[in-house]
Amino acid sequence: MVDNNSTSNSPAENHNANPDGNLPPESGDTTIDALARKVQESLSLSKRHKFWETQPVGQFKDLGDTSLPEGPIEPPTPLAEVKQEPYNLPNLYEWITCDMDSEEICSEVYNLLTNNYVEDDENMFRFNYSKEFLQWALRPPGYFRSWHIGVRAKSSKKLVAFITGVPAKIRVRDTVVIMAEINFLCVHKKLRSKRLAPVMIKEVTRRVHLENIWQAAYTAGVVLPTPISTCQYWHRSLNPKKLIDVGFSRLGARMTMSRTIKLYKLPDSTVTPGFRKMELHDVPAVTRLLRNYLSRFVVAPDFDENDVEHWLLPKENVVDSYLVESQETQEITDFCSFYTLPSSILGNQNYSTLKAAYSYYNVSTKTPLLQLMNDTLIVAKRNDYDVFNALDVMQNESFLKELKFGPGDGKLHYYLYNYRIKHALRSSELGLVLFVAGISQLLSLSCIVRTERKLNVVIASSYVPFTL
């Protein structure tokens, strides 16, 4: 949605929508407790979260129990007891490790995802990660090539399934924990009855355990035991005519197209003195700025200079970062960034791609955040983005309404696996941004509860538990 009278049909929006739409959107101890009761009351006994109740995750029944300690819920298993051999696939298929440095392999992965990955409920949009984005997302500092897992058909050698993991340093209060982020689970549309997905999940879990990693951070659009925080996506229209033409949004009540275009019009030029694109020599200063800023949040990444160089140094059509350099002292005082995630527009004669920017990490110390983000919108519009999306995490809520963002339809729930936080966090206490189509579809499809809502994503027929 780009305004309160509009509707969004983006894959992100529909994929992350909460099927229990009558539940309250706010987070916090009391609200999560009430939400848990409503979820449990709305489900028959046979449809409760039986799987999740056996897992090392926060449980609804434990809400408010202050005697439970924060930190790991279960100790790690001795590495000698971790399965050393890959899980067995059906006879017609074989495992491969996908070398994302290889142009040939990267193209195969891109083609599989482009044709078979996340779509919206009405088959109007499909995420279209570029090859450059995939290489960026899957090769952070310290990544394990063995966690980039593919499945080939033995006869044709065609890549028919894919799943990945990357390591991440996540700080929870004062403790830095190495976690896994699982992403890009995709099975070819014609093979979703072959039960490949459960085996793939077990295999990536096995490989994560072999590296002595036992925690994970993930998101889901459904309520599972138990969210550490609940956030919402907001959308700012940059090209309203196109968004309306392709069905991403609709014309508001009592609004004409010309009035809508005028409403969302932005200046041609930024207004902040010293506002410029980030460069390699800025990495140390940006790292200091970002670490200081993220330290105020309960859950946030623990970035060092290598991480900042990888994740935030601009890469064309992947990630954009801008900063403000004081013209008097040459100090870097402010920072903003967004990543690029386009969607293919399906079945439209006039448009083939929806170019979307997603707010990443933003730091304001001298320049007002509202002004900094307005300049960010200006450069995004100047670079032909159609829509700018942002979660209400960190301090984002302070600029959303003022800059004409509209709230989306769904909620995005954040979870930690095998790590307990005593009290649910407000979205403003969360300093972590995970890519839209991360572990969320994996976990939403892992839910034991089947909803009436159509889940037209990845492996819609395979409801399998995720373990790590």
The tens digit of pLDDT for each residue in 83-103 reads 999 999 999 999 999 999 999
User: Is residue 236 helix, strand or coil?
Assistant: strand
Higher pLDDT, 161 or 46: 161
Determine the pLDDT at residue 428: 97
Name which of 273, 270, 303 is nearest 289 in CA terms. Answer: 303
Q: Do 219 and 440 meet the contact criterion of CB atoms below 8 Å apart?
A: yes
To the query of whether residue 434 is one of the catalytic residues in this protein, the response is: yes
> Which pair of tokens denotes residue 333?
């005082």
Determine the pLDDT at residue 122: 65
- Sorted by where each starts, the structural domains of the chain and their CATH numbers stand as 11-224+415-421+428-446 (3.40.630.170), 232-409 (3.40.630.170)
Q: Do 451 and 186 meet the contact criterion of CB atoms below 8 Å apart?
A: no
The tens digit of pLDDT for each residue in 153-206 reads 999 999 999 999 999 999 999 999 999 988 888 899 888 777 788 788 889 989
- Whole-Å CA distances, 149 to 86, 206, 428, 447: 11, 12, 35, 23
**Count of alpha carbons within 13 Å of 451, Cβ hemisphere only?**
19
Higher pLDDT, 384 or 36: 384
Q: Which residues pair with 419 in a beta bridge?
A: none
Q: Which stretches of 125-272 are DSSP H helices?
A: 131-138, 196-210, 240-245, 257-263
Contacts of 262 (CB under 8 A, 6+ apart): none
The tens digit of pLDDT for each residue in 317-346 reads 999 999 999 999 999 999 999 999 998 898
Is residue 450 exposed (0-12), middle (13-18) or buried (19+ Cβ within 10 Å)? Answer: exposed
Determine the pLDDT at residue 412: 87
Lowest mean pLDDT among 9-18, 56-65, 238-247, 368-377: 9-18
Q: Say yes or no to pLDDT of 3 above 70.
A: no
Name which of 29, 12, 37, 39 is nearest 65 in CA terms. Answer: 29
Q: Say yes or no to pLDDT of 17 above 90.
A: no
Catalytic hit among 224, 377, 434, 445 = 434
pTM: 0.82
Q: Say yes or no to pLDDT of 47 above 70.
A: no
pLDDT band of residue 35 (cuts 50, 70, 90) is: low
Q: Using CA atoms in the order 79, 83, 85, 90, what is the torsion angle rounded to 10 degrees?
A: -150
Q: What is the DSSP letter of 76?
A: P
Determine the pLDDT at residue 60: 84
Q: Say yes or no to pLDDT of 436 above 50.
A: yes
Percent of the chain with pLDDT strictly greater than 90: 61
Q: Say yes or no to pLDDT of 361 above 80.
A: yes
The tens digit of pLDDT for each residue in 437-453 reads 433 332 222 222 222 22
Determine the pLDDT at residue 200: 87
pLDDT band of residue 104 (cuts 50, 70, 90) is: very high
Q: Say yes or no to pLDDT of 245 above 90.
A: yes
Higher pLDDT, 128 or 105: 105
pLDDT band of residue 456 (cuts 50, 70, 90) is: very low
Q: Say yes or no to pLDDT of 4 above 80.
A: no
- Average pLDDT of the chain? 82
Q: Say yes or no to pLDDT of 65 above 90.
A: no
